[in-house]
Amino acid sequence: MDNEFLGGMLILFIIFYVVMILLSLAVAVLCINAQWRLFEKAGEHGWASLIPIYNYFVMTKIATGNYLLGWIYMVICVVYTIFQLYQALCWDFPETVKQLALHIL
Protein backbone atom coordinates (compact mmCIF):
# COMPACT_ATOMS: atom_id res chain seq x y z
CA MET A 1 0.00 0.00 0.00
CA ASP A 2 1.19 3.45 -0.73
CA ASN A 3 1.54 6.25 1.79
CA GLU A 4 -1.13 8.42 0.17
CA PHE A 5 -3.76 5.72 0.66
CA LEU A 6 -2.75 5.17 4.29
CA GLY A 7 -2.73 8.91 4.93
CA GLY A 8 -6.20 9.25 3.43
CA MET A 9 -7.51 6.37 5.53
CA LEU A 10 -6.00 7.94 8.66
CA ILE A 11 -7.71 11.24 7.95
CA LEU A 12 -10.98 9.41 7.28
CA PHE A 13 -10.76 7.57 10.62
CA ILE A 14 -9.91 10.77 12.49
CA ILE A 15 -12.90 12.57 10.95
CA PHE A 16 -15.15 9.60 11.79
CA TYR A 17 -14.04 9.49 15.42
CA VAL A 18 -14.35 13.26 15.87
CA VAL A 19 -17.90 13.14 14.49
CA MET A 20 -18.76 10.20 16.77
CA ILE A 21 -17.36 12.01 19.83
CA LEU A 22 -19.34 15.15 18.97
CA LEU A 23 -22.53 13.13 18.51
CA SER A 24 -21.94 11.35 21.83
CA LEU A 25 -21.43 14.66 23.61
CA ALA A 26 -24.61 16.05 22.04
CA VAL A 27 -26.62 13.03 23.22
CA ALA A 28 -25.10 13.30 26.70
CA VAL A 29 -26.04 16.98 26.95
CA LEU A 30 -29.56 16.18 25.73
CA CYS A 31 -29.97 13.43 28.37
CA ILE A 32 -28.63 15.61 31.18
CA ASN A 33 -30.96 18.45 30.16
CA ALA A 34 -33.96 16.10 30.00
CA GLN A 35 -33.25 14.60 33.41
CA TRP A 36 -32.66 18.04 34.94
CA ARG A 37 -36.05 19.25 33.67
CA LEU A 38 -37.74 16.05 34.83
CA PHE A 39 -36.40 16.55 38.35
CA GLU A 40 -37.51 20.18 38.42
CA LYS A 41 -41.03 19.30 37.21
CA ALA A 42 -41.26 16.68 39.96
CA GLY A 43 -40.38 19.31 42.58
CA GLU A 44 -36.80 18.13 43.19
CA HIS A 45 -33.57 20.05 42.72
CA GLY A 46 -32.24 19.93 39.16
CA TRP A 47 -28.64 19.54 40.30
CA ALA A 48 -29.60 16.19 41.86
CA SER A 49 -29.60 14.71 38.36
CA LEU A 50 -25.84 15.23 38.13
CA ILE A 51 -24.86 13.12 41.16
CA PRO A 52 -24.68 9.45 40.09
CA ILE A 53 -25.97 7.42 43.05
CA TYR A 54 -28.12 10.16 44.56
CA ASN A 55 -30.02 10.72 41.31
CA TYR A 56 -31.08 7.08 41.34
CA PHE A 57 -32.63 7.49 44.79
CA VAL A 58 -34.34 10.73 43.73
CA MET A 59 -35.77 9.00 40.64
CA THR A 60 -37.04 6.22 42.89
CA LYS A 61 -38.67 8.81 45.13
CA ILE A 62 -40.28 10.46 42.12
CA ALA A 63 -41.61 7.16 40.81
CA THR A 64 -42.77 5.55 44.07
CA GLY A 65 -43.04 8.37 46.56
CA ASN A 66 -40.30 7.16 48.94
CA TYR A 67 -36.66 6.12 48.96
CA LEU A 68 -37.25 2.61 50.35
CA LEU A 69 -37.50 0.86 46.99
CA GLY A 70 -34.20 2.42 45.94
CA TRP A 71 -32.46 1.07 49.03
CA ILE A 72 -33.95 -2.38 48.54
CA TYR A 73 -32.88 -2.48 44.93
CA MET A 74 -29.38 -1.23 45.80
CA VAL A 75 -28.93 -3.98 48.40
CA ILE A 76 -30.09 -6.62 45.91
CA CYS A 77 -27.64 -5.33 43.30
CA VAL A 78 -24.72 -5.31 45.74
CA VAL A 79 -25.47 -8.84 46.98
CA TYR A 80 -25.82 -10.10 43.41
CA THR A 81 -22.54 -8.45 42.38
CA ILE A 82 -20.67 -9.95 45.34
CA PHE A 83 -22.13 -13.38 44.53
CA GLN A 84 -21.01 -13.08 40.90
CA LEU A 85 -17.51 -12.01 41.93
CA TYR A 86 -17.11 -14.95 44.28
CA GLN A 87 -18.48 -17.33 41.66
CA ALA A 88 -15.92 -16.05 39.13
CA LEU A 89 -13.19 -16.38 41.74
CA CYS A 90 -14.18 -19.99 42.39
CA TRP A 91 -14.08 -20.78 38.68
CA ASP A 92 -10.71 -19.08 38.14
CA PHE A 93 -8.93 -20.37 41.26
CA PRO A 94 -10.60 -23.61 42.39
CA GLU A 95 -7.54 -24.93 44.28
CA THR A 96 -7.09 -21.71 46.22
CA VAL A 97 -10.76 -21.65 47.20
CA LYS A 98 -10.61 -25.31 48.25
CA GLN A 99 -7.49 -24.66 50.37
CA LEU A 100 -9.13 -21.62 51.95
CA ALA A 101 -12.25 -23.64 52.74
CA LEU A 102 -10.15 -26.44 54.32
CA HIS A 103 -8.17 -23.89 56.30
CA ILE A 104 -11.35 -22.29 57.68
CA LEU A 105 -12.87 -25.66 58.58
Mean pLDDT of the region 81-96: 80
* 38 in the same domain as 9: yes
Q: What is the domain range of residue 26? A: 1-50
pTM for the full model?
0.62
CA-closest candidate to residue 26, choices 36, 37, 15, 34: 34
Contacts 24+ apart (CB under 8 A), 36-43: 38/62
What's the confidence (pLDDT) of residue 90?
Answer: 78
Residue 103 has pLDDT above 90, yes or no: no
What's the confidence (pLDDT) of residue 92?
Answer: 76
Number of domains in the chain: 2
Specify if 74 maps to a domain. Answer: yes
68: amino acid identity, one letter: L
Specify if 6 maps to a domain. Answer: yes
Specify if 77 maps to a domain. Answer: yes
Q: How confident is the model at residue 20 (pLDDT cuts 50, 70, 90)?
A: very high
